[in-house]
Every structure is written in structure tokens, then in C-alpha cells.
Amino acid sequence: MSDKSHDPNQMTGAAMIVRALIDHGVTDIFGYPGGAVLPIYDEIFQQSEVQHILVRHEQGAGHAAEGYARSTGKPGVALVTSGPGATNMVTPLTDALMDSIPLVCISGQVPTHLIGNDAFQECDTVGITRPCTKHNWLVRDVNDLAKVLHEAFYVATTGRPGPVLVDVPKDVQFATGTYHPPRKSDVHRSYAPRVKGDATQIRKAVSLLAGAKRPVIYSGGGVINSGPEATKLLRELVEVTGFPITSTLMGLGAYPASGKNWLGMLGMHGTYEANMTMHDCDVMLCVGARFDDRITGRVDAFSPNSKKIHIDIDPSSINKNIRVDVPIIGDCGNILGDILQVFKAEAKKPDIKTWWQQIAQWRARNSLYYKKSNDVILPQHAIQSLFELTRGKDTYITTEVGQHQMWAAQFYGFEEPHRWMTSGGLGTMGYGLPAAIGVQVAHPDSLVIDIAGDASVQMTMQEMSTAVQYELPIKIFILNNQYMGMVRQWQQLLHGNRLSHSYSEALPDFVKLAEAYGGVGLQVTKPADLEGAIKEMISVKRPVLFDCRVAALENCFPMIPSGKAHNEMLLPEQANDEATAKAFAGGKALV
């Protein structure tokens, strides 16, 4: 026998995959077995360092890995088989790409000699996932596998984080080759994300900030992705400058909702004060956000009189939608640190008292106002109650997509980063339930709640079975209005109230459904019973489906109508039929 047989770095491709996961500190992965990944599952079976969570559908594995990643700052890992296993991952990969979530997906592939042969469960996985990953690889030689796996983790977690996929043919999993631990040379020389910001640009930014009369800080998910240091520095910058701060959907929690400079979320369903502040400001500091179309409204009327500073790690985010005056490429945390240092040394707190007085007037419009009822539960009230009753607890919130998601963003106050997991860019209905599973796996003793809608939650409902199997006590808080609420809202506002296929016909009995899965079902219909029911949900240490029956026709306001500017918001008290019709002029006849 040769010496090689005693070399501990000689192993099969399948063993290398598990070994690489361990070397990258991975303790939990989400997956589903199949023909093309059986060798890897065999290795998983024979070890105990990496725990595998068996989902019920590969999409669930992807979203669970996303929830895991968002709540920990570590990469999420998913393992799927070839063909349908890989195609079912397309939605979570795209979701993670849009929201810059570090995800490593390992997919099995048919043996190398069968690739291109239309073999059983074959698909062109790297071709299909090329546009929905930050990068992907097909590994044809077992001796390349270690390098590729290490590079995959590096690419997923550095620069602007994102999903990556490594496609491993079954013969490569069986073949024996040489493994090596992670090393610097594993990474493409062409990949070198910039971390430090340009000093001249930073000085320009500070001089703009110091001279501002009507400033605003607009922060996004990049601050959270950058890590705890960036959050700390952002808070310090707000403190040192005294500037008002708003945030995108993805950025909630970087600055505490209870902070005195907090304006609430901005954008289409943001607060009046946040959007007016953005519109009328003279200096805007955008940190780790990307001027998405849900944020800007009408682009040619977006904050027309301001100088804009944009901090982003991705150069392609600069001037994509909005032309900015001072772009700074690099890591938010690093650049915020530099800005603070220069600001503290050379500038003093600008006097913006009159600006704050103006903001106070906008705040006084109370744009999140809604009318409570004693007869029926208002969805806003349900979320406010949930917030009050979980305040101070170790809570993580995920959501699905739609009205409930916007109400959650408006009415649930986030004090810390990594506590809010939502599908922002892609808007994936069905994200929240599996994401909650991922969060609960990462934080077994925390309270994990998926604020859901009755339509979204049915898209990935099968993962209740996963929650029951692994005793993950996630709470699915369904705002059940028996509609695809956001679709219906748009149909009411823009399509003549013709509610085409937005009614949730034949809804399941969620209480019985929960019981059928082996979980706990709760239902509440009256405002008076709400608090007690939420308390019961929190105290139950098992997965819960909470069927919260809410006002069926409530709509989500305030709102920037399409094609309008930030200062043309529709406020709840104005949202009567006539004003709505006027705001949506150009649309079809409104009822």
C-alpha cells in the first residue's frame, strides 16, 4: 500500500464536503436527500458535528438557511439533490441575491459522463442558477473540490454577501482525492472587494454633513450585513450629529425604533415624516441602501434639492437609479468609522433646530393612525399587541410578503439588528415560515414569530412538519383577512375594484391543520380575546398556528401612489374614495 492511504487528507469528495463544512464552522445545514447526493448523506450519517435539518421541500431548505444567516450573520448552508432539488432552490437563491444574504448551496449532479445526456434528474444547474447566484461552480475533478468549497464560503460572506452554489457530480463525490484546509490562494485573484473608503471622498462627505441645514440619514440592509460594529457606529453617528434617521425595510433594527431621532421606515408604505424628510432634505447620507424603486417613488422628483452621499460596498449600486454627489465605495462599518473620526476632529454638531421643528409638524400628522374597533380586530392593532406583549423578550420576527409584512414593519419596533427577517427585494410569499425554522435552529431558546398572511403561509405550509419533527417552537401569527390583501388593495386602487382571484376561497381550518401536523392551533376573532390568546401562544413551547381573524377589507396606508413623489403621500385619513381616485389619476375608474 502506498503512503497516501495513511494521509488524513486523502478522502472521498463526499467526505471533503462535510469536512469543509466543519472547517468553516458550520454546525447546522438544511437539506433534502436524493439520488445524486446520497454519498454526502452517507457521510452526514457517520458524524455528529454537523446537524442536518430535513425539510419537506427544497425551497424550505433555502429560506431556512436564509433565516439562519440573517439572524446570525453567519452563512446559511443548504444541501439538495440534482434536477428538481436544484430547480426548487432557484427561488431562495434569487431571494438571497436580492437581499444580499450569504448562502452556500451544495447540489448533487448526475455523474460527469452523463452530463448533457438528459439523464434521470439531470438539469443544467449552473446554467439555471448563474443569474441567481453571486457565483457558482461545477466541480469536475475531486482534487478541485476543496479549493472550490473554500472559495465558495469566501465569496458568499465577503464584499456584498450573496448566495453561491457548488454543483458536485456523483462520481466526484465517490472519487478519492486530496483535501486541504482553507487557505488564501483558494480565492480568485480577480475577486478583491474593497473595504476601506477613499479618504478624499470621506472628507467631502464630512464637509457636506457639517454644513447641512436639513440633513437625513437613510440606512439599509448593508449596515446590518456589515456586522455589529457598523450598527454601533451608525448609532454613534446619529448621536454625534443629531441628525434624523430613517431606514429601508431591510435596515430595520440598525437604529432602535425607540431612539429619539428615528423617523420610521421610508418608502411606499413608510411614514409621512420619513418621506417628507427625504424629499425636503439638503444633505442625504445613504448608508448601505440602494435607492430601490419602492424607496424612491418617482425618480425624477426624488429628493430634488439635496446633495447625496452614498456608501456602498458594491460599485454597481452607485448611480444605478439615482445620481449621487459623493459616492464612497467600501464597507459601511469601516467608512462610518472614518467619517466619525473626521467629523469629531474637524466639525461640530450643526444647528438643525428648525429642521427638527419642521419634522415635528410632519410627525404630528400621525400617518400610521388607524381606527380601533371593539367588534373586529384591526391588523395594525394585532401587531401592536404582539409587539407590546413580546417587548423585552428575546424575540425574532420573520414575515411573509404582503400587507401583513408592511404592517409588521410599521408597527413592530425593532431595537436590535438581525431580529427582523423579511423578503425585501424579491418579495417571496412563503419565505417566513421556513425562515422562522432557520432562525429557531440558530436560536433554540428564543421566541421566533412568523407574522404571516393567510395566502402566503400556504405556500410553504408543509414546513410545519419540519418544525414538529425538530421540536422547533415557532409561532406562525397569521393575520387572516381571507384575501391576498396587497393584491386586493392594488385591485381596489388601480383596477376598478375588480377583485380578480384575490379572495382566499376554501381556506383550511388553521386550528385543525396545526393539530394535524402535531402542532398547536389557536384562533381569535374578537379584540377582547386577542391579548389572552397571544399570551397563550407565547407560553406554548410547541409550534403554533395562530389564526388571527382580522378586518377583511383594511388597507395599508400611508402610501406613495405609483408615479408620485415622496411629498405626494396618501395618508390614512385622506384615503377616502375621492382622494384615492385623484391620487391614482391615470389609473382606471375607481370605486
Q: Are residues 173 and 138 in contact, defined by beta-carbon separation less than 8 angstroms?
A: no
| Choice among 121, 462, 469, 574 that is catalytic | 121
Residue 371 interacting with another protein (CB under 8 A): no
Residue range at the interface with another protein (CB under 8 A); choices 37-45, 224-232, 396-404, 579-587: 579-587
Binding status of residue 297 toward another protein by CB under 8 A: yes
Q: Are 377 and 429 in contact (CB under 8 A)?
A: no
Say whether residue 582 binds another protein (CB under 8 A).
Answer: no
Give CA–CA dist 241/222, Å, rounded: 21
Confirm whether 121 is a catalytic residue.
Answer: yes
What burial class does residue 396 get, using C-beta atoms within 10 Å of its C-beta: 0-12 exposed, 13-18 middle, 19+ buried?
buried
Angle between helices 38-45 and 13-23 (to 10 degrees): 60
Output the nine-digit C-alpha cell for 563: 408615479
8 binds another protein (CB under 8 A): no
In this chain, which stretch among 67-75, 76-84, 319-327, 464-472 interacts with another protein, using CB under 8 A?
A: 319-327
Residue 514 binds another protein, judged by CB under 8 A: no
Residue 323 touches another protein, criterion: CB under 8 A: yes
Report the nearest approach of another protein to the CB of residue 131 (Å): 5
Question: Least Å distance between CB 312 and another protein?
Answer: 11
Query: Residues 320, 356, 504, 574: which binds another protein (CB under 8 A)?
Result: 320
Q: How far is the CB of 239 from another protein (least distance, A)?
A: 33
Q: Does 490 bind another protein (CB under 8 A)?
A: yes
Does residue 316 touch another protein according to CB under 8 A? yes
Tell the smallest beta-carbon distance from residue 493 to another protein (Å).
8
Q: Quick one: how far is CA 302 from the chain centroid? A: 25
Number of residues located near another protein, criterion CB under 8 A = 38
CB 61 within 8 A of CB 55: yes
Residue 434 identity: P
Q: Tell me the C-alpha distance between 249 and 247, whole Å.
A: 7
Q: Is 314 in the site for another protein (CB under 8 A)?
A: yes
Q: Are 79 and 52 in contact (CB under 8 A)?
A: yes
Is residue 588 part of the annotated active site? The answer reads no
Catalytic pick among 4, 49, 120, 535: 120
- Of 486, 537, 559, 569, the catalytic one is 486
Helix (H) or strand (E) holding 199: helix 199-210
Regarding 585 and contact with another protein (CB under 8 A), the answer is yes
> Which part of the chain contacts another protein (CB under 8 A), choosing from 129-137, 176-184, 283-291, 504-512?
129-137
Closest CA to 103 of 142, 135, 139, 55: 135
AA identity, residue 392? G
Burial class (CB in 10 A: 0-12, 13-18, 19+), 443: middle
Which neighbouring-strand residues pair with 480? 549
Contact between 141 and another protein by CB under 8 A: the answer reads no
User: Pick from 203, 204, 232, 298: which binds another protein (CB under 8 A)?
Assistant: 298
Q: Give the C-alpha separation, 494 to 519, whole Å.
A: 40
What is the nearest approach in angstroms of another protein to the Cβ of residue 113?
Answer: 16
Which three cell numbers mark 346? Answer: 474637524
**Min CB(92)–another protein separation in Å:** 19
Smallest distance, another protein to C-beta of residue 481, A = 20
Regarding 577 and contact with another protein (CB under 8 A), the answer is no
| 475 lies in the site for another protein, by CB under 8 A | no
Supply 416's cell numbers. Answer: 436590535
φ, ψ dihedrals at 279, nearest 5°: -70, -40
Q: Where does 414-487 show beta strands of DSSP type E?
A: 420-421, 447-453, 475-480
Give the pairing of strands 176-178 and 10-12: antiparallel
Return the residues of window 186-215 that contact another protein according to CB under 8 A. 188-191
* 315 interacts with another protein by CB under 8 A: yes
Of 221-229, 311-319, 442-450, 471-479: span binding another protein (CB under 8 A): 311-319
Asked if 170 is an active-site residue, the reply is yes
Catalytic residue among 134, 147, 170, 308: 170
Q: Does 150 bind another protein (CB under 8 A)?
A: no
Q: Which residue stretch of 220-228, 242-250, 313-321, 351-359 sits at the interface with another protein (rule: CB under 8 A)?
A: 313-321
What is the bridge-based pairing of β-strands 176-178 and 163-169?
unpaired
Q: Which is nearer to another protein, 4 or 323 (CB)?
A: 323
Torsion of CA 230, 232, 236, 238, to 10 degrees: 70
The helix/strand/coil state of 51 is: strand
Decide whether 103 or 386 has the Cβ nearer to another protein.
Answer: 103
* 113 scored as a contact of another protein (CB under 8 A): no
Closest CA to 209 of 332, 335, 339, 357: 339
* 563 lies in the site for another protein, by CB under 8 A: yes
> Residue length, the chain?
591
Smallest separation (angstroms) from another protein to the CB of 57: 26
Active site positions, annotated: 58, 120-121, 170, 486
**Which positions lie near another protein, rule CB under 8 A?**
126-127, 130-131, 134-135, 138, 155, 159-160, 188-191, 293, 296-300, 314-316, 318-320, 323, 490, 493-495, 562-563, 584-588
